Amino acid sequence: MELITNEIKKEILAIWDKYISENSPVLDVKGKGIENIDGKRISAIPILKVLIDEFLANKVTVSEFKTSIDSFNKQNNLWGFTSIKGQMFFNLLVKSNDTEDKLNHLKNLLINTISIPFTIDDALSRIDKLEQYCLKVFTTAPDKRKVPNPGSVGYFLSYFWQIQNHEKWPVMYSSMIAAWTDIELWKTPSSQKDSFHLFWLLNHDIKTIIEAHTKKPISNWDVEHSFWNFRGNIGHAKTISNQQNKSKEKSEPLITTISESTPIEETETLLKSNFELSDYIIPKVARLIELGNQKDKSAAAKGSEFEKLVAEIFKQLDFEVENLGQGTGRNPDAIIKFREENTAFLVDAKAYSSGYSLGIDDRAIKEYINHHCPRLQKEGYKKIGFIIVSNSFKSNFDSFINEITWDSDIKRFVLLTSEALLYLLAYKTKNKLPISSIIESIVGFGNHVTAKHIIEEYDDF
């Protein structure tokens, strides 16, 4: 049976021709332009092969192998392995095996499945073995956020197979599947084994279609790059028009990167997640950005509602929330806590339609810190931060933030856009993120955290 219709073949060739005609820098799996990605991969492969060969030869433990792969990819993230389905999946694989016998069993399983398959049937058998192993752990785990998700198996194994033979094995990227879904080519099978089989067949057929069109050999990487470019390019008239219509139907906010001097209305779409935001958050909190932009309400009424929504989102992120807010004196709007790690944040929510600037609030912020930090420290909270949530920020806070973190007990001061907060909640729901990962995201990106940062960290590339 033919998998690709003539209409979709035209779409594929339009995507390819657009990619070639623009001669744009190749976009990596996170939507960033990267110069000579193929050359850098060719240079990286021999180093990664050494790490893989040492593991397959039983010269290092599974924990040592995990750490060495993590270290290399953090410095050379050319395949997107630092994301959820790569390193985080690997971390949870190891972490969920808490005895020496279990780790030895996992090591033997990975040696068997990571080694390069001989045929597609062999590959499917290996995916099935690791998927069945993960399913047993996943279905019985009381907290599924702390165990490896079976849905990551296809990407995880195909990454290692491509390192060992990049001409034969494509990596099963979620971003490519999202692109194929956009052009109505993909319908998700019920298992990772079947998903990879379909992915492999479609990838082969797409290469054949483009080769017939160009009269040149087409590699797995060529296909990757063209569809990554498609996902990050708003110039494809027919398909992008369809995507925009779907987004409007679901009232999905744009994914933006916001400078401290630019209000949200003027921002440019740069990166798209692989899902619709409205599928993973409830309508009540999805109004946060719209509410912050409203101009027909009084500042007090809008501010109070905005504060409550921000507090509700942090509660859904599993923080313990102490609501303070309007009417309680000179207090931050909320204090959010995570007792297990003795971590707390003072939170101020700012419903400014034209972007929040510091203005006269610097004195109030210092008062909040001086009043609440001693109390929180007495309660045993050793790591205390400050978060301002607003749709956008239009003044430079750097000198003020430096002063606060130098002169007070505040360890991290974060400007968090409303959109970034919503995407944190969506990824928490979608990927069952533990609160510890959420805290790492909040404090790990620098002073200004946007939706782009969250998507780059958590999307299933």
- Report the CATH number at residue 363: 3.40.91.30
Task: Say what the pLDDT of residue 249 is.
Answer: 38
294 and 437 in a single domain? The answer is: yes
In a domain, 40, yes or no: yes
DSSP 87: I
The model carries a pTM of: 0.63
Whether residues 222 and 295 share a domain: the answer is no
Confidence of residue 397 (pLDDT cuts 50, 70, 90): confident
384, 411 Cβ separation under 8 angstroms? yes
Average predicted confidence (pLDDT) for the chain: 85
pLDDT classification of 241: cutoffs 50, 70, 90: very low
84/433 Cα distance (integer angstroms): 10
392 and 348 assigned to the same domain = yes
Helices in 217-359 by DSSP H: which ranges? 220-231, 237-249, 283-286, 288-293, 299-316
Q: Is 249 part of any domain?
A: no
Residues in the chain: 461
342 and 430 belong to one structural domain = yes
Residues 150 and 27 in one domain: yes
The predicted structure's pLDDT at residue 261: 29
Predicted pLDDT of residue 180 = 93
Rounded CA-CA distance 225/205 in Å is 16
Structure tokens at 267: 């921002």
pLDDT at 202: 97
In a shared domain, residues 352 and 444? yes
Whether 217 and 275 share a structural domain: no
Its domain, for residue 29, covers 6-236
Do 211 and 318 share a structural domain?
no
**Domains: count for the chain:** 2
What is the full DSSP assignment across 73-102?
HHH--SS-TTSIIIIIHHHHHHHT--SHHH
Same domain as 190, residue 45: yes
| 244 inside domain | no
Residue 410 identity (one-letter amino acid): I
Q: Are residues 214 and 299 in the same domain?
A: no
CA angle 352, 354, 360 (to 5 degrees): 60
Residues 6 or more apart in contact with residue 242 via CB below 8 angstroms: 182
Task: Please tell me whether residues 105 and 225 are part of one structural domain.
Answer: yes
pLDDT of residue 22: 82
Between CA 418 and CA 135 the distance in angstroms is 35
Domain boundary at 218, 236, 254, which?
Answer: 236
The answer to whether residue 59 sits within a structural domain is: yes
**First CA to last CA distance, the chain:** 29
Domain check: are 72 and 196 in the same one?
yes
Residue 315 has pLDDT above 50, yes or no: yes
